[in-house]
Structure 1
Amino acid sequence: MTSFVRGIALLGFDEFALGQGLDSQALLAEAGLPADTRDGLISGLKFNALLELCARRSGNPLFGLQLGLQQGSQALGGLLYLIQSTRTVGDALQALVQYFHVHSSGAELHLERQGNQARFLYEVIDGDATSVRQTVELAMGMGAQLMQGLLDQAWKPDALWLRHPAASESGAYRRLLGVTPRFDSPINAWTFDAALLKAPLSATDERFQQFARRHLEELARMSVQELPAYVQKLLRQGLPEGRISIEHVAEHMQLSPRTLQRYLQAEGTGFQELLDQTRQAMATRYLCDSSIKLTQLAALLGYADLSAFSRAFTRWYGVGPQKWKQRVKQTQGLAESVAAPHQPLAHGR
């Protein structure tokens, strides 16, 4: 799936990169991104690669998080106007969830409530992006600044959950965010008191809100994902619960399985192919960014047992998952050891 992100996502990148001892224009060119991106669309995959590259070259594993904290909600562009014209914090977050695909087609937001706790979740869905630590931490930093802007002193999160392991000592995260993240978690999410969702926002302009929604809906029509991408989204949601048959997906879409398959074939793909691609993307993501056990991962992806998962993984990559993960770690370690001696170490925000 080819994903995009709006160029506003690089707000302040030049200045921040310079502060980290980096040549921003050279890095943009190396990542294959244009120098002037503010008003256009850029590749989500290349944006993710840029952040990972910057973290390595600067010697700062918290590059993405610190950039996100510096950008704050301003990097949401036009979405920020809609958020600021809603009645409550909950309305603001729901509006962001609804229209986030206009800002980025390679990630999703979800707002959930479980008892007295609310969870604001972020998930990278671009199947071509393997290691997404920097992109996730940038998003969580932006989320913290957004909530701070909406709630001011009332913003006191219960926890930050991150799927990947810690990139730096926990104290560094706590100094930046006020909380120590719970690493190797099943989700990426801020959790907080659900009562905060009812907090009123000071300025509500209903006429402007209507204008902002019409503008975003027009943008959404120009960038709407096609059917295969939507089926993959349903598969990602259904895999952990075992709802991965074409019958389950077709029922959710209120289509017959035969009609769904016909639509997919018209787009040059098929249900089993999409299922295989989705499993492959999720497998590589988890192996790169978490310490999940292979037996757990096999179950999460809907395989009957570990051997079935291993056979599928070997078909994808020519080696089993354990050996593949070892090779990835060796490659990353070599890249870091080669880059580190020649690059300045700069850790300031």
Structure 2
Amino acid sequence: MTNQNGPPSLRVRWDNPSPTLPAVVAGPGRVLPPGFIQLGVATEIAPTLREFGLDPNPVIREAGLDPRLFDDGASVVPYAALGRLLTLCVDCTHCSHFGLLVGQRATILSLGLVGRLMQHSETVGDALHALVANLSIQDRVTVPALTTSDGTVLLSIAVYQPAAESADQVADGALAAIVNALRSLCGCDWSPAEVLVPRTPPAAREPYWRHFRAPVRFNHESATLVFPARDLERRVAGADPMMRALLEERIGHLKGPPGCEFSDDVRRLLRTRLTSHRCSADDTAELLAMHRRTLSRHLKGNGMGYRAITNELRFEIARQLLQDTQASLAQVAAVLGYSEASAFTRAFRRWSGQTPTAWRVEGQHG
């Protein structure tokens, strides 16, 4: 069944019609809208459910999606539906690390065009920069960031959709899939030095140690792989410069004109920078190579000011940490740049009408 409502650049299909959770297929050269994601790694949900002896089709339909979409990693769905599906998968399998199992089945080709570009990058560093710069063409939900300091690399993944359901499962799957991608570039014996996970310690920790082959720290504020900076200099075997140029050209066409989805691009940028406190309007404008007044004008044209966006993202990060980790209020406040837990509590009450403690308790018993 085909529905032509919604953005004109998309064809919308659903198996069990639900106007709030449509599955979409992007046409050639179309820009992916905010809140949508190519299935990619998530196509491994169906075989993972089968490993538990379950028929995936009823579970996928219950989330409001057509099971046939999972035959093609380029199928595009709203994150609201994918998050709901992952929640259902955890419930029906009684496996709190279901997202990890999905991600560890993935390969570098599960990352679509971006994965192919990584395969043909000159070095591992170039491949990771390609991931950070281009993932948005197929994923408007998660955002990667790469930082290097004192000989150590931090490759982080954040989920930035408001009230994102199963953000912990998405983070687990993304970390597992990216480790597989790095092993395809560096050799199957590669492992990070450490893995940081933004979730409470699961009942079964051994699957994490077995896949990552590295120490795993839970209750962290971000999903992060830590490894030596010298790994960035490794050459990628079999990289083809001509294929790389073709892929870069194709990806360029998928990014859309300058200013397209501008406010969402700012959100992606801020999602990883808010926790490092390098997020002033001046800093952001400089990163975007524009004057601060130009940044403000563009955002106002999209209907939202800079301060409103930063507060929206702080609220989002706070909810993820309160829901998915055991971090104290003081730790959450520090992550978000508040000097005292009391200042964070006042801000959270303005955003939600509740104290963070009450919100956390309600979520645990909801």
Which TM-score bucket, shorter chain as reference?
Answer: 0.7 to 0.9
Larger RCO of the pair (alpha carbons < 8 Å, separation 6+): 1
Structure 2 distance, partners of 1:117, 1:125, is: 25
Counterparts of 1:215 and 1:245, CA distance in 2: 33
Q: Note closer, same or farther for the CA distance 1:223–1:42 as it changes in structure 2 (3 Å cut).
A: farther
Kept in 2, the 8 Å contact 1:131–1:285? The answer is no
- Is this contact kept in 2: 1:4–1:104, CA < 8 A? yes
Give the residue type in structure 1 aligned to 2:241: E
AA partner of residue 211 (structure 1): L
Match of residue 7 from structure 1: 39
Q: Which residue of 2 aligns with 1:49?
A: 84
The match for 1:20 is: 52
Partner of 1:276: 311
Q: Which has the higher helix share?
A: 1
- Give the match's secondary structure for 2:333: helix
Deviation at 1:190, TM superposition (A): 1.6
TM-aligned CA deviation for residue 42 of structure 1? 0.9
Q: Which residue of 2 aligns with 1:220?
A: 255
Equivalent residue in structure 2 for 1:194, among 221, 229, 253: 229
Indicate if the aligned counterparts of 2:221 and 2:335 stay in contact, CA closer than 8 A. Answer: no
Corresponding residue SS for 1:71: coil
Q: More deviation in 321-330 or 254-263?
A: 254-263
Aligned-pair CA distance for 1:118: 2.2
Aligned positions of 1:109-258 closer than 5 A: 109-221=144-256, 226-240=261-275, 242=277, 245-250=280-285, 252-253=287-288, 255-258=290-293
Q: Are 1:161 and 1:187, in contact at CA under 8 Å, matched by a contact in 2?
A: yes
Instruction: Give the match for residue 324 of structure 2.
Output: 289
Alignment partner, residue 324 of structure 1 = 359
- Match of residue 345 from structure 1: none
Ranges in structure 1 where 5+ consecutive residues have no aligned partner: 332-349
Change (3 A) 1:13 1:249: closer
Q: Is the 8 A contact 2:117 2:247 kept in 1?
A: yes
Bigger shift: residues 108-117 or 51-60:
108-117
Query: Number of residue pairs matched?
Result: 331
Once the two structures are TM-superposed, the CA of residue 305 in structure 1 deviates from its matched residue by: 3.6
Query: Which residue in the other structure is 2:136 paired with?
Result: 101
Q: Which amino acid aligns with 1:25?
A: N
Q: Is the 8 A contact 1:119 1:192 kept in 2?
A: yes
Q: Structure 1's 290 and 78: CA in aligned 2 closer, same or farther, altered over 3 A?
A: same
Contact 1:130 1:285 in 2 (8 A): no
Q: In the TM superposition, what is the alpha-carbon distance from 1:267 to its structure 2 partner?
A: 1.6
After TM superposition, give the deviation of residue 74 of structure 1 in Å: 2.6
Question: For 2:76 and 2:281, how far apart are their aligned partners in 1?
Answer: 33
CA RMSD of aligned residues (A): 2.5
Aligned to 1:31: 63
Distance, in Å, in 1 between the alignment partners of 2:112 and 2:289 is 35
Shift of 1:259: 4.2
Q: Could you say if the C-alpha distance between residues 198 and 175 of structure 1 is closer, same or farther in structure 2, counting changes exceeding 3 Å? A: same
- C-alpha displacement of 1:154: 4.3
User: Quick check: 1:171–1:180 contact (8 Å CA) kept in 2?
Assistant: no
Instruction: Give the conservation status (yes or no) of the 8 Å contact 2:84–2:165.
Output: no
Seen in structure 2, the aligned counterparts of structure 1 residues 258 and 211 have a Cα distance that, compared at 3 Å, is closer
Q: 1:246 to 1:116 in 2, by over 3 A?
A: closer
| Alignment correspondent of 2:3 | none
Structure 2's unaligned 5+ residue stretches are 1-32
Distance 2:209 2:122 in 1: 31
Q: How far does the alpha carbon of each residue in 1:110-144 deviate from its partner, in whole angstroms, 9 at most, with x for none?
A: 22222332222211122331541111111111112
Question: What residue identity is the alignment partner of 1:19?
Answer: E
Greater mean alpha carbon deviation, residues 3-12 or residues 221-230:
221-230
2:62 is aligned with 1:62: no
* CA distance in 2 between partners of 1:81 and 1:317 (Å): 42
Compute the displacement of 1:176 (Å).
Answer: 3.2
